[in-house]
Each structure stands twice: as C-alpha cells, then as structure tokens.
Structure 1
Amino acid sequence: MFSFRPASRSSFKNSDWWQNPFYILGLILLSAVPLFWPELPPLTDAPGHLGRYRVELGIHQSPWLHQWYSFDWHLVGNLGFDLFIIPLAHLFGLELGLKIGVIIMVMVTAAGLLAVAKAVHGKIPPTAAFALPFIYGFPFQFGFLNYCLSMALTFNAFALWITLKNSPYLRAFIFIPFGIIIWSCHSYGWGILGLLCFSADFSSDYRHARRNNQPILSALFQAGYKSALAMLPLLPPILLMILWRSGHVSDGNGDWFRFDLKIEWVLSALRDRWQNFDIASIGVACFILLLGRLRLAPPMGLACFILLIAYICLPRILLSAAFADMRLAPYIFASALVGLKAPKNQNFARIAAIAACLFFTIRTAATTVSFWFYDQGYQKQLKAVDFMAPGSRVLAMVSTPCLMTWVSNHMSHLPAMATVRKDAFTNSEWAIAGQQLLTIHFPEAKRFIHDPSQSLYPRQCRFRGSADLDKTLESFPRQAFDYFWLMDIPPSLWPHEDDLIPIWSGENGILYKIDHRFTTVSSMLSAPKSGSKPKAVPAVK
C-alpha cells in the first residue's frame, strides 16, 4: 500500500510533493495531535467505556465491584476496545492505555484512508488530506470506540482488498480471519467492509466485461456473479451473527426514514464546538466534490453510491445500537474525498493540494483547542473523586444538553471515572443485553441503577422517565448511596437538604455525602405505629 523507502533527491524533484512519503507520514502523525494534551480522550462515551474496562480487568481483585457488576465474556459483535484495552492497560495502565489506544486508532484510520487513495488511484491524489478531519466526526466525538476501531481496520482492509484483486486465492485466505476480526470489533464495520469490497469488485468486473464488448445486461450479470463469489471469504461472521442474535438480546430496530435527522447528521458530520465553523467545513468539502464534478475513481464512485443508499435506508436504531445511520455520514464524505480524481491541470492540482493541507491544518488546530476546553471541564469536575471513599456508591446527575444542541459538554458519562479510580458504583453505566458484556445488579438503587438516570436534560427535551433534579431529590433511595454528585450544574440549583452534607464544591459542581444516620432516624419517625394501617404509596408512572 504505502512505500516509505527513501527516495533520491532527484526523484522528489520531479514528483508531486503531496506524494512525498514524509508528507504522508506527517499527515498520519499530525492527525492524532488533538489527543496529545487531554488526560482522557474527551469523548462523550469514553469515561463510560473506561468504567466498564475497570470492571472487566479488576472485578476479581476488587473487594467492591462484584457487589454491583458482573462481567461475562461471550461472543458479541461489539468487542473492539474491550479486547484492545487488555494489553494496553497492562503496559500503560488503564487511563493512559485508553488514551494511547485512541491515538493509535486515529492514526490507523488516517493511514487506512490514504491507503485506499493509493490503491484506487495508484498514487495519493492532491485532495486526499481533505478526508482526514472526518476521522473526528460526530460518531468519534460521541465516543463510539468499538465502531470507530472497526472502521479504522475496515479502510485498511479495503485498500488491501483492492491491491490483491489479481490474487484471489491469497485474498480469500487473508480475508477469512480479517472479516472475523473486524466483525468482532463491531458488526457495523464488517457490514460496511462488505459493501465496499463488493462495490470495488463489481465496478472492476463490469468495466472489464464492457471493454470486451459484452452487452450491458450480460456484463451486469457477470460482474454481479463474480463479485458475489469473491465475497465468500467475508461470510463466516454471518454464522457468528446468528449465534450472537439467538441469545438473550435487547429488541431494538426502529425510527426508520427520519429524513429530518438524516439531513441533520449530514450537517453534523464534523460537529464539534463551533456550529458555523463546523457547517462551513462541510460546505468546503461539498464544494471540493462539486468542483471536481464528482469525478470519483470507478471503485469509489459505486462504493459511495451504495453507502449513500445504505445511509438512507438505515434506521436510527439497529440491533439495539442507537444512531446507526448517523455513524455512517462522516465516512461517506471521507470515502468520496479520497476517491476524487486528481485535476488534470498540474497547477490546479498544486492549488488543490495546498487547499487540502490548509483544511486539514485548520480543522486539526480547531479540534485541538476544542479538546483542550473539554479536558479543562473534565478536570474541574473530577476533583470530586478525590473526596470519595473507595468502594462507595455514587448517585450522579450531570447537566446534559439536548441532542440537537450543537455544543455538548461531553460529560454525561464522566461519573464513571469514580468507578475507574475508586472502584465505586455509579449510575452512569449502560448495560444493553446482547451489546455489552457488563451486567448491573443493584436492585437497592431502584430506577437509579444505570444510564440515563444521571442525565439532567433541559425541560424542553426531556423524555418520559428522564431525570428531574427535584423528583430525584424526593425519591432516590438514600440508604443505597453514599454520595450525591452534581456535575456542570450551577450553584443556584444546588439542593440544601438536611441529609446532604457538602464535602467538595467547584465551578458548577458539588459533591455531597449522604448522612445515613439522619435518613435512618427519619425512616423510623415516618414508620407506621404497630397495629396501624400503612399509608399507600402512589405508583410512579
């Protein structure tokens, strides 16, 4: 795919600088710069993943975690970072291991996109750098780590698939395990790999048949047959899928053809912090594609068309995983941009290369600054963890913006860091049957046992059963928890309950220790006298 062998000075003199191996290597390394400074990858779901990894790696050593959690290894198409973190945590520790793992994932994705460009065009086109900022698209910002890891591997595998087109037996031998590995990371990545590989072979076989003067229908049939046959090495995960979905899994497919959301996801493909800037960046990408008159290299033209059809047809929820369609949007842009043919005019090609380099640099700088801001917010709130006793039980409430609010604080799962650092129970973990290996068993917590009981949304976007601060204060079981933690909530909303003792406060954050003695006395005073009829408790609807 890439060749980083040193070249003579004369060979670089007449070559295009955007094909210089050192420039390509620089793009790959610089793509990870936004992650260098933050102590934790400031991605919404990342702290929740870390909490699960702490249970995964430490449940048998911790004297507390087994009280509330179970971790059962079994086959699911969603194991990417759950497996990747094991060697990383042993080498670097859990938190640093995750950071290094995400950095590696970003660089592997960048290498994969550029490898696809090289495989498709035979050389790196001048516009290839336009694609790299889409690595930090909305799915990445959300912290869909397993999915993003599967996409990193998918693009590299797709480049290898194209490269080995003329070695079908070798390709088949290699891609039997490759398909299984990518499916194990995340089943969506395996599905997208199948679409990409079929598109590439169909496009190549159809053009070959037409060059041999075969009729259109005959060429279509022959290309479809040969391409379907070539897909056989990628089919073994279908058996794994049957085994996976035949077990106890959550039933979740729905919200089909929400075109209002699909348009929103396209505009949000580079969503981060500055709405006008992020949407303008999408406009720049569209302008580049239109300026190139959508002249995509043959494999990528059909591939992007099929991915677009898949994007339109996918529901918002698929196999119990939310935002199934949204996850695809940035990668359609990235695929189209690496597939764009180079301008024929050499001067225009140089201008395009400079523009791509500037776009990559500006977006990378903006993401670096944005991630620094997120990290500052994280560190201010995480000071509360130092005041928690190990093995405690923490009820957290986090101010969470509405989904359609452009700027997020990325904090909705930050309470899980108490699990990571203090082996504590927190109510911010998620456990979807058939999707994760984590099980939560803490009935004393009642409805405050898992996500989204920690998310305090603005009133205009609260859904049925979502958290409310006043109702939570009235109803949460005091005896089941040791601390009450408010994050990114202004002091004007902080409660002043007699049994909540403030032990730490910072900017828009406060930690209370729950006085169980007061709660016990209150329970005794409110208990019915012997022989009296207890009062009925209204049902929660």
Structure 2
Amino acid sequence: MSHNLPFAPINPVAFPRDSGRERAMLWLGIVLALISALPVIVARYPMMSDYPAHLARYRVMLDGGANPDLARHYGFVWQWTGNVGIDLLIGPFAQLFGLEQAGRVLTGIIPPLTGLALVAVSWVLRRRVGIGTLLAMAFVWSPMMLIGLLNFAAGQALALWVFAGWVALRRYWWRDSLMVPAGVLVWVFHLSAWAILGVLVFGYEFSQRRTAANPTGAPWWRAFIAPWPLLGPLVVMALLPGTSGAFSYGNYWWVYKQAIWLKAMRDTSYALDFLGLVAVLAAVALATAQRWIDDRLGWAALMLLAMTIAVPRHISGGDYADYRLVTSGLMVACLAIDWPRAGTVLGVWARVGTLAVSALYLARLAVTTLTWGQGAAQMERYLQALDHIPRGARVASAVVVDSGRWELNRFEHIGAYAVVRREALSNANFAVANVHMLRIRDASRGFVDPSHRILQAADRPVDLADFAPAREADWLWYVGQRLPDRLPLGAVVVWSAPGTLIARLAPAVVVPGGANPPPAPEPSAPLAKSAQSH
C-alpha cells in the first residue's frame, strides 16, 4: 500500500488502537533483535576476518608510545575522519573490561542495536512491526558485520536511530537543532552511514511532499533542502585535513558489481545465503507489484540500490563502499514492505509470512552462532603459537585463503594478535600511509595488509620459499588447511599444530620505512618431515 500521508506532525491518535497481535509482533521484533548477540555471547573471539587488525590498531593507539616495542615498530597519527566511531569508544570500554574483552562487548552491542533500530523505525512510521521489519533483520548480520567493518555497522545502527528520531520529533521546533550534532555523530562513526542517513531523510521528505494530500503546498523540490541539519560534516570535511580522498572502481568493475549482489547475504552456507537472497528479492518484488511498499522508505531503498552501481568500490582508501550499500539498500527495501493488516483477507498469509521470515532469520543466526563457536575454539588453538614468539619480535604472517570457498576466512588477520599480545611487528595490519592512522616504522611499505594473504585454490601446493614478508621478519606464523610444502631458506619450525606452525627465520633485513624490500633469497628445499614439533 502506498502511503500518502499529509505533510503534518504525526499524531499517535491517527494510528489504529494496538491489537493483541500488534503487541505480540512488537515483542517478537524486540526479542529477535536482542538474541542477535548470540554469536558474540557463544564465541570468546569475534570471528570476523578484519577484527584482529582493528584490535591491533586499538592496542597501538591506546598504548600511546609507552611500550618500547610498540613504539619501535609503529606510529599512530590521529585523524578526524568519517570512520572512527569504535576508535573513540574503545578507550573507556578498555578501561572497564580490558582491550580484548572491550572489543568483544562493543561487537556484541552492534547487532541488537541495529535490530532494535529497525523496530523503532517501523514503529514510529506505522505503529506496528510487520513482516518487512522481521525480514530486514536478516541483514543485521550482513557481510559487512561478518567481515568486521565495525565503524560502519555501528554507524548504520546509529543512522537508523537518528532517522527514527527525525520522524518522531518532527512536530517539535527544536528537532533541527538536535539533528545538527546527530548528523555529525553519525559521520564520525562512518561516512557511508552518514550518506545512508541522508538518503533515508530525503526519501521520507520527498514522499511527504509529493502527496496530493500535502496541506502546506510545499513543492517536491523542497525535499532537497529539508535534510540541511545533517550537512554539518561537509563543513568538517572542508576544514580538516585527511577527511577526503581519491576514489576508484577497481579492475573489472562490471564483474565485481555482479559479485557483490550475489554475495549480498554471504555468510557460511552458500545454499542458505543464496536462497535467502532469492527470498528477499521475491518478497520485495511481490510487495512492489501489490503496492505494499511504504513510500516513506521505498524511495530511500530505490536510491540506495541504484547507488550500488554508481558508487565506486574505493572511497578515501576504504574498500567496499558500494558493497555496503547493497546490504543496506536491501535492508531498507525489506523494512519498506507494509503487508496489509491481519484483519484483511490476507491475515492468514500474514501469519504464514511472519513464520517464514522469522525462520529465515533464526536459521541464519543459528548458522552464524554455530560457526563462530567452532571458529573460536579453533582460534584458541591457533593462538597457542604466540607462546613461542618473543615479545617485540618481527613476525611475518602467512594465511592461505581458499579462492574457491564461499565462506569468509575468519583467520585471515590472525597475525594481528601478535601485536595485541606480544607487541610484535606484523604484516597483517591496516597501515597504509595517508589512508590509515596506524603507521609501520621499521619495515617496507609492503609489510602491511594484504601481504599476509595467500589467495589460491585449496589443492595447490603452498610454497613459501619466496614469501616476501619473510625477508623482513625473524619469525613466520603460518595458518592454513595444510602445512606448507616449502619454507623460506633457513627456516626452522619450532612449533606446529594442525593447520598452523611457527618457524624461526634467518635474521631479518630491517628496511627503512618506504624502501623496497631486498632481493628474494634462493628457494629453499622442501619442508623437512623431521621439523621440530611440540
């Protein structure tokens, strides 16, 4: 049903009196939102591929140069950019819980905060929680969250809450004054979340002004002006350095654009993820055909999904700028579905739909929780490797990532735990100059992400004889499904376990920052079967 509500303050009396079903649906939405924290509750380690690298950055940032090993290996240059939300929160949380537990707590807050925000938006717009709201919860654990883009995920949750406030407070003259700092706060968490907020507000205002029932007679183009309180970050970006940068679509962008749509619900099970995406697209298509789309969200969803094609992959050094919009756009599209109330002839189908979308959400949550629990147990075993690495060591991390596997590799940045627990130099960090706040001091420009990643098919030999980061390290930390076939020349395995090993390397060649790495050594012999193992 297409909403054509008058452009006037929202009056709660205008909504039908809450029925028992509507109250039950509200509580169902709240409960589903709260249990979204289960993966973090079950798993000791957040099993997100990028998470250890973020934790390493927090470790260096909070240390402030006090630890001599960290100070020798790293520098940190604070920049006010639209991507520092969790960086600001981690300090006080770390004082309360310690760094690793603080990261886990903050990670666990984001999914329920997002789910409750979806409930809040639905409630302030329609005074009920419907099928669309529950279907949108399938994106609470989106690929962005599973990768570990914490600033974006938290910023998106905050953007939804601010949008709910925009709608709920529209009757009050002081709303615009409140929205000025709110817009800046969302931008501080993440630039893309701020853009999503702007699109949500514009879509809502455009829908209100285009209706024939608009009593104010305000022209539709005034919708472009209405979000002005949210434009404060434009001033910040103009005045402060480091808040803007280049963009790029990347190589073979047309293939990549198709891939991010196919992977819009990527988690662990290809069958479940693909069928879930088909179900979401079918539900949105059905609702559109039946005119069961709330225009106040529908226009924003349409714009976000269109932006997935227009927006480049890289903005200001950040990756997946367009991929984020795929997951966010589909979430808003689901939220826009306004299934007819249960009192109509479609009431029975509404109940069936509620069960179906709840089952999809619970199935995805169960898979995530189960795989996180298993992954955390495996992470615990892998982290025993750190007991064999001296503090302040130079560690070359090598992680084999199966190029043919659907599931994200949750151990890709495991080498960053050497920074967190052993104050070591590691090549698994996000530390590109002029892009990231973390800096590498005594290694080459190439001793950063993704130099640790070995992307290849699972059945190919793992050859580390010419592994470039090993030339600048004293220790090699390897993680993969199979042991490497060849190690760098002179490497001695001091500890191994299924899927991982630690090897002592020849003395590292310390490369001044920005210099090129030294020439490759001669290839080594195959890994000896008699290598020491403990």
TM-score bracket, normalised by the shorter chain, equals: 0.7 to 0.9
Q: Give the Cα–Cα distance (whole angstroms) in 1 for the partners of residues 487 and 481 of structure 2.
A: 11
SS state of the match for residue 211, structure 1? coil
Q: Identify the residue that residue 292 of structure 1 maps to in structure 2.
A: 287
Is this contact kept in 2: 1:41–1:102, CA < 8 A? yes
Q: Give the Cα–Cα distance (whole angstroms) in 1 for the partners of residues 50 and 338 of structure 2.
A: 37
Deviations 1:389-417, CA, capped at 9 Å, x for gaps: 11111111111233x74123222211000
**Between 344-353 and 128-137, the greater mean CA deviation after superposition:** 344-353
Q: Decide whether aligned partners of structure 1 residues 202 and 19 sit closer, same or farther in structure 2, where only a CA change above 3 A counts.
A: farther
Q: Identify the residue that residue 51 of structure 1 maps to in structure 2.
A: 56
What amino acid is the match of 1:510? L
2:90 is aligned, of 85, 90, 98, to 85
Q: Give the Cα–Cα distance (whole angstroms) in 2 for the partners of residues 408 and 213 of structure 1.
A: 52
**Between 335-344 and 502-511, the greater mean CA deviation after superposition:** 335-344
Q: CA deviation at 1:255?
A: 3.3
**1:513 equivalent in alignment to 2:504:** yes
Q: CA deviation at 1:303?
A: 1.0
Q: Identify the residue that residue 373 of structure 1 maps to in structure 2.
A: 374
**1:116 equivalent in alignment to 2:107:** no
Q: How many residues align?
A: 491
Q: Identify the residue that residue 332 of structure 1 maps to in structure 2.
A: 329
**1:134 equivalent in alignment to 2:139:** yes
Q: Identify the residue that residue 242 of structure 1 maps to in structure 2.
A: 238
SS state of the match for residue 495, structure 1? coil
Q: Decide whether aligned partners of structure 1 residues 150 and 78 sit closer, same or farther in structure 2, where only a CA change above 3 A counts.
A: same
Q: Identify the residue that residue 427 of structure 1 maps to in structure 2.
A: 427
What amino acid is the match of 1:270? M
Is this contact kept in 2: 1:80–1:186, CA < 8 A? yes
What amino acid is the match of 2:202? F
Is this contact kept in 2: 1:116–1:159, CA < 8 A? yes
Give the TM-score of the pair, scaled to structure 2.
Answer: 0.85
Q: Identify the residue that residue 271 of structure 2 maps to in structure 1.
A: 276
**1:488 equivalent in alignment to 2:483:** no
Is this contact kept in 2: 1:500–1:513, CA < 8 A? yes
**1:392 equivalent in alignment to 2:390:** no
Q: CA deviation at 1:104?
A: 0.6
Q: Give the Cα–Cα distance (whole angstroms) in 2 for the partners of residues 494 and 38 of structure 1.
A: 34
Q: Decide whether aligned partners of structure 1 residues 117 and 470 sit closer, same or farther in structure 2, where only a CA change above 3 A counts.
A: same
SS state of the match for residue 394, structure 1? strand
Deviations 1:413-464, CA, capped at 9 Å, x for gaps: 110001111111101111234443211111xx3355211111111179x9xx
Q: Give the Cα–Cα distance (whole angstroms) in 2 for the partners of residues 408 and 232 of structure 1.
A: 39
Q: Give the Cα–Cα distance (whole angstroms) in 2 for the partners of residues 37 and 238 of structure 1.
A: 41
Q: Give the Cα–Cα distance (whole angstroms) in 2 for the partners of residues 35 and 509 of structure 1.
A: 24
Q: Give the Cα–Cα distance (whole angstroms) in 2 for the partners of residues 76 and 468 of structure 1.
A: 40
Is this contact kept in 1: 2:237–2:244, CA < 8 A? no
Is this contact kept in 1: 2:432–2:448, CA < 8 A? no
Q: Give the Cα–Cα distance (whole angstroms) in 1 for the partners of residues 166 and 215 of structure 2.
A: 26
Is this contact kept in 2: 1:203–1:298, CA < 8 A? yes
Q: Decide whether aligned partners of structure 1 residues 72 and 538 sit closer, same or farther in structure 2, where only a CA change above 3 A counts.
A: closer
Q: CA deviation at 1:50?
A: 0.3
Counting aligned pairs with the same residue, the percent is: 27
SS state of the match for residue 272, structure 2? helix
Q: Decide whether aligned partners of structure 1 residues 280 and 36 sit closer, same or farther in structure 2, where only a CA change above 3 A counts.
A: same
What amino acid is the match of 1:450? V
Q: Considering only aligned residues, what root-mean-square deviation do their CA atoms show, in Å? A: 2.9
**1:197 equivalent in alignment to 2:193:** no
SS state of the match for residue 165, structure 1? coil
Is this contact kept in 2: 1:18–1:126, CA < 8 A? no
Q: Identify the residue that residue 525 of structure 1 maps to in structure 2.
A: none
Q: Identify the residue that residue 319 of structure 2 maps to in structure 1.
A: 322
What amino acid is the match of 1:211? A
Q: Unpaired runs of 5+ in structure 1?
A: 1-10, 521-535
Q: Give the Cα–Cα distance (whole angstroms) in 1 for the partners of residues 389 and 253 of structure 2.
A: 44
Q: Decide whether aligned partners of structure 1 residues 260 and 39 sit closer, same or farther in structure 2, where only a CA change above 3 A counts.
A: same
Greater share of residues in helix: 1
Q: Identify the residue that residue 347 of structure 1 maps to in structure 2.
A: 348
SS state of the match for residue 32, structure 1? helix
Q: Decide whether aligned partners of structure 1 residues 313 and 501 sit closer, same or farther in structure 2, where only a CA change above 3 A counts.
A: same
**1:159 equivalent in alignment to 2:164:** yes
Q: Decide whether aligned partners of structure 1 residues 248 and 277 sit closer, same or farther in structure 2, where only a CA change above 3 A counts.
A: closer
1:458 is aligned, of 456, 459, 464, to 456
What amino acid is the match of 1:84? L
Q: Decide whether aligned partners of structure 1 residues 184 and 511 sit closer, same or farther in structure 2, where only a CA change above 3 A counts.
A: same
Q: Give the Cα–Cα distance (whole angstroms) in 2 for the partners of residues 261 and 491 of structure 1.
A: 31
Q: Give the Cα–Cα distance (whole angstroms) in 2 for the partners of residues 425 and 458 of structure 1.
A: 25
Q: Decide whether aligned partners of structure 1 residues 155 and 435 sit closer, same or farther in structure 2, where only a CA change above 3 A counts.
A: farther
Q: Decide whether aligned partners of structure 1 residues 318 and 249 sit closer, same or farther in structure 2, where only a CA change above 3 A counts.
A: closer
Is this contact kept in 2: 1:42–1:371, CA < 8 A? yes
Q: CA deviation at 1:61?
A: 2.6
Is this contact kept in 1: 2:402–2:457, CA < 8 A? no
Q: Give the Cα–Cα distance (whole angstroms) in 2 for the partners of residues 234 and 496 of structure 1.
A: 54
What amino acid is the match of 2:228? L
Is this contact kept in 1: 2:114–2:140, CA < 8 A? yes
Q: CA deviation at 1:361?
A: 1.4
Q: Identify the residue that residue 529 of structure 1 maps to in structure 2.
A: none
Q: CA deviation at 1:387?
A: 1.5
Q: CA deviation at 1:185?
A: 0.8
Q: CA deviation at 1:125?
A: 1.3
What amino acid is the match of 2:480? D
Is this contact kept in 1: 2:492–2:503, CA < 8 A? yes
Q: Identify the residue that residue 523 of structure 1 maps to in structure 2.
A: none
Is this contact kept in 1: 2:464–2:486, CA < 8 A? no
What amino acid is the match of 2:423? D
SS state of the match for residue 439, structure 2? strand
SS state of the match for residue 395, structure 1? strand
Q: CA deviation at 1:247?
A: 4.4
Is this contact kept in 2: 1:256–1:313, CA < 8 A? no
SS state of the match for residue 192, structure 1? helix
Q: Decide whether aligned partners of structure 1 residues 347 and 18 sit closer, same or farther in structure 2, where only a CA change above 3 A counts.
A: farther
Q: Decide whether aligned partners of structure 1 residues 433 and 183 sit closer, same or farther in structure 2, where only a CA change above 3 A counts.
A: farther
Q: CA deviation at 1:515?
A: 5.0
Q: CA deviation at 1:20?
A: 4.9
SS state of the match for residue 75, structure 2? strand
Deviations 1:205-261, CA, capped at 9 Å, x for gaps: 221xx22599xxxx7x81222x233222111100112234x4497644333993432
Q: Unpaired runs of 5+ in structure 2?
A: 1-16, 510-517, 522-534
Q: Identify the residue that residue 223 of structure 1 maps to in structure 2.
A: 220
Deviations 1:55-75, CA, capped at 9 Å, x for gaps: 011143312101011112231
SS state of the match for residue 496, structure 2? strand
